[in-house]
Amino acid sequence: MKKTGMTTLEVRKYNKSKVYELIYERHSISKQEISNILQMSLTTVTHNLKLLETEEMITITGQYESTGGRKPNIYSIVTTAGIAIGIAVLKNCVHFVAIDLYGEILQKDTRPLLFSAEDSYYQKLGAETTQFIDELGSRYKDKILGVGIAIQGLVSADGQTMSDGAIMNCTGMKLSELSAYIPYTCRLEHDSTATAAMELWCDKSLKDAVIYILNHNLGGAVIIDGKIHYGQNMRSGSMEHMCMDTSGPQCYCGRKGCLETFCSADSLEKAAGMDLDTYFKKLRQGDEFCREVWLLWLTNLSKAIGNINVVIDCDIVLSGYLAPYLIEDDIRLLKELVDTYATYPLNNDQIRTNHYGALAPASGAALPYIKKFLEEI
């Protein structure tokens, strides 16, 4: 944005935005630093700081040590000037998060709620959402920017309809139905792309990547040039339906041998015959059966990574529910397996994990409201 040809009002708005953006970027900064970095007079900086303080967008959080004279104030943004709510709708439960302007989780909760594409469910979801927001406290309720809903399945390009809801048996469900009893503006997002959005938010260095979302049901996403690649029909990244073995187990899509049946968290739990907390505890203790199950699971994942890597040679991010369980030895073994089965070996740092876990879809679904708020300042 250039100042040339701008009206006085536009210049004032521009200056205020630049001051706020710099404070946001630096987290904490002095008035003199703002002036120096933006090449803006102290008088102009002071005026905009006062405006932003009056609007409760920034606050003084302390003072720097004096280098002679008065101690300079430390300015930071008010992280709760805008709050977004994220919901991840699953078969048997709902994850709730409230995030601040940095995307940090202020409050979280998981509540049992059996999904069905019926009005009775929509009413319960609305009631649970309202209760979750009430628990934030009255001082935050008027700061809520909107509610993002992440769900397992493909969402139409306009964000209004479930174009493929095979997992949840909700193909054709409308956002207007799902959000009918939520008293805030809402948006609908495929849980995989919501997770990818969270990855991009938290790792600004991520440019080209394939994200394997290791949830109870497997998901995926593709990032190209720092942006989520949706594809012509919003299907990019659906690696859960990559066929691994035509005689393999039945997938919920109706076909056999999809990656979903080999590398989802549910498939691991089924193969182990126990809940995953117990399984990983026994695995780390050296249980031989658990080690064999793990080796087979990693082998299948390595083959999928190798297959996709010959199409898109990029970073590989392991995210979702299983990601926090993974340790360095697992990543090392996975890379060795990829190098064994794939055409091309991977670089040592090509596979990475995150630890946002099961809350990544809910957090990612809330992010667009935070981004919009920041863009409009």
Arch. (CATH architecture) of 83-196+360-375: 2-Layer Sandwich (3.30)
Q: What angle do CA 294, 88, 234 make, to 5 degrees?
A: 85
SS3 (DSSP) at 178: helix
Answer whether residue 347 shows pLDDT above 60. Answer: yes
Tell me, letter by letter, the H, E, C secondary structure of 254-305: CCECECHHHHCHHHHHHHHCCCHHHHHHHHHCCCHHHHHHHHHHHHHHHHHH
pLDDT at residue 1 in the model: 41
Q: Helix H segments across 106-257? A: 119-134, 138-141, 175-178, 191-202
Residue 81: partners with Cβ closer than 8 Å, 6 or more residues away: 56, 57, 101, 143
pLDDT at residue 2 in the model: 45
Q: Hey, which residues does 95 pair with through a beta bridge?
A: 88, 110
Asked if 83-196+360-375 and 205-353 have one fold, the answer is yes
Answer whether residue 259 shows pLDDT above 50. Answer: yes
pLDDT at residue 227 in the model: 95
pLDDT at residue 67 in the model: 74
Average pLDDT rounded to a whole number, residues 134-143: 91
Answer whether residue 355 shows pLDDT above 70. Answer: no
In CATH terms, the fold of domain 8-77 is Arc Repressor Mutant, subunit A (1.10.10)
How far apart, in Å, do the first and last CA atoms of the chain sit?
14
The model carries a pTM of 0.91
Pick the closest to residue 194 from 164, 172, 220, 175 (CA basis).
220
Domain ranges of the chain: 8-77, 83-196+360-375, 205-353
Q: Helix H segments across the chain? A: 8-26, 31-38, 42-54, 119-134, 138-141, 175-178, 191-202, 260-263, 265-272, 276-284, 288-309, 328-341, 360-375
Look up the CATH number of domain 205-353.
3.30.420.40
